[in-house]
Each structure stands twice: as C-alpha cells, then as structure tokens.
Structure 1
Amino acid sequence: MAPGDPADPLQHNVTVTPVFGPFAGRRVDFTLQFPPDYPFRGPRIRCRQAIFHPNIDVGGGVCLNILRLEWSPVHTLEHLLVGLLNIMTEPYPEDPLNKSAADIMLQDPRRYVEIVNLTIAGGTFDGVAFSALDRA
C-alpha cells in the first residue's frame, strides 16, 4: 500500500495480482479513500484502470459486498484486500455493477474470458477502450 495523494493522508493506492481466474498474473490498481470517521464507515474503492469485469464498472466503481452490505468497524484493511483479490479471482456476476460483463459471463463464460483477454491487452470492446494491464 502506498499513499495515493500526498495532500490527502486518507487516500492510498494498492495493487492486487490474482494468481487464478481471468486476470491471473495481471496487476490491477485500486485507490482506497478512507472517510474521516473510518473505521465506523468503510472506504470508497475505485479501480484506476478501465477493465471488463462484472463487479467493476468502466469508470472504476467497485461493487464489494463487504463495503455495501457487511461493513463493520471490526473489518480491517486485510479484509478489504482479500475482498478485492476474491472478486478479481472469481467475479460475482449475480450482483453486478457492469451488467454487460455479468450477462456475458453468465451466458457464455468462454466469450467472457475472450473479452477479458482482449481488454487486458488494451483492446476495445463495445466502443470502450480498456487499459492494458501489466504482468506481475
């Protein structure tokens, strides 16, 4: 974890690199913005790259259940990082933020993996240019 904005001590950047799943071996960068009343309220998390993912919209918004449904002051940074790694390893299309990605993943899993491979290489899909993801 590294400071995200030197002027904002509540903002930090993290990188996760899944070992399994469609994003395996790729570095995915996130910004965590902690609220002043943390840990009583969870941080806002944004993906810093445009990726094709059921739980992450192309604007970087992240749908992570621990933040939306289950936040508690007992949750730690480790819980957040494990949650991010989990959705990168096993996307959860049943509760999507990117409905298009979720629908494709549910209806045609092979096609979903093809699109992920295209987009992590910096390709374009459905009129959206995606960020090439570095290998770890």
Structure 2
Amino acid sequence: MIKLFKVKERQREIAENANGKPPVKKQTAGELRLHRDISELNLPKTCTIAFPNGKDDLMNFEVTIRPDEGYYAGGSFLFSFQVPSVYPHEAPKVKSKTKVYHPNIDLEGNVCLNILREDWKPVLNVNTIIYGLFHLFTQPNHEDPLNHDAAAVLRDNPKLFETNVRRAMAGGYVGQNSFTRCMH
C-alpha cells in the first residue's frame, strides 16, 4: 500500500518551505493534551509549577510542594515530571528530587502513588497527580510503602516518626542516611 498521507505531508512541507516560512513542528496529541492540562491547573496554594527548560519543553517540568499541615509542614519538596509522548495513555514519570524520609517515597526519589501505576486512567491529569502528591505529605500511608523502615516507624511509633521527619527536614541523619535541609 502506498503511504499517500506521508507523500502529501511531505509535499505540503516542501511547499511551506518554498514560501520562506520555517517548517512547522507538529505537536503530538500528548503535547496538546498536556498543554490543556497545564492551562487548566487549579493547584493548592502550597504548590507551584516551573518549566526549567523553558516554554518550548512542556513535557518536562517541576512541581514544588510546601505542605502547610501534618508531619511535613514547613518543608519544601521538589518533584520532576517527565511526560511521555503517548500521554494521557501512559502516566507521567514522577520523581522526588528532594531526598525525603517518607513511607511512600524511597531514598532514590521513586514515588509510590497508585494513580502513577496501576490506577492510571487517561481521564486523570497533571492536576490529579499534584493533588495526589500533596496528599502523600498530609496523609502518609504506611500500608503501601516504598521506604519500609519509615512505614514501620509511622505504624508503630508515630512520635518517633515525627521526630525523624523533623530531623531529616532540618538536614540531619535518620539512621545511616543523611538528608539535605528542606525547611522553608
């Protein structure tokens, strides 16, 4: 079968270039959807979004979460988002760039959030993920841990967990692990 559409698309590109105009970069469906998601963001006042690579790279961005309640109140936590070109059919890849003592975030920055894995659906969006991350800081979950030590302490000794969180956020050690200060 002849790839007629490819031929026509190529002819159109050649014609546009002949007019002296630069070739137009077509946006993928994922980029279009992400653009809409970002334009419709309704973030909690404690969350901000930034595009370190500039407005031409919407597929990679950072979100800062500054909880104002719970164990992590007063902390500032940075997450990187890498959005696949097939978004929303695949969830963005989200990593914590801030080393944090948390039952649902391991020391390498991997995040345990169901909507980033098995419960992802294309109707979900960036706003949903950010609210999910925010919820992890206000309601850490010891039942589905990535950091099993932190989860056990939260489950068995919430006062010690709170002490460990404060020590980590202040830039101290918890066990053998050192943390960078993330208090704001």
SS in 2 for 1:70: coil
The reply on whether 1:20 has 2:49 as its aligned counterpart is no
The match for 1:30 is 79
How many residue pairs match? The answer is 135
**97-106 or 3-12: which moved more?**
3-12
Report sequence identity in percent: 35
Bigger RCO (CA 8 Å, 6+ sep): 1
Do residues 44 (structure 1) and 89 (structure 2) align? no
Structure 2 equivalent of residue 81 of structure 1: 130
Matched, 1:2 2:50: yes
Change (3 A) 1:61 1:4: farther
Q: Structure 1: any 5+ residue segments left out of the alignment?
A: none
Q: Report how far residue 74 of structure 1 moved.
A: 0.6
C-alpha distance in 1 between matches for 2:79 and 2:52:
10
Partner SS, residue 61 of structure 2: strand
Q: CA deviation at 1:9?
A: 3.9
Q: Is the 8 A contact 1:4 1:31 kept in 2?
A: no
CA distance in 2, matches of 1:54, 1:115: 12
Q: Report the Cα offset of residue 8 of structure 1.
A: 5.0
Distance 1:69 1:131 in 2: 31
Q: Which has the higher helix share?
A: 2
Q: Which moves more between the two structures, 52-61 or 65-74?
A: 65-74
How large is the RMSD of aligned CA atoms in angstroms? 1.3
Q: Which residue of 2 aligns with 1:11?
A: 60
Instruction: Please identify which structure carries the higher strand content.
Output: 1
Match in the other structure for 1:117: 166
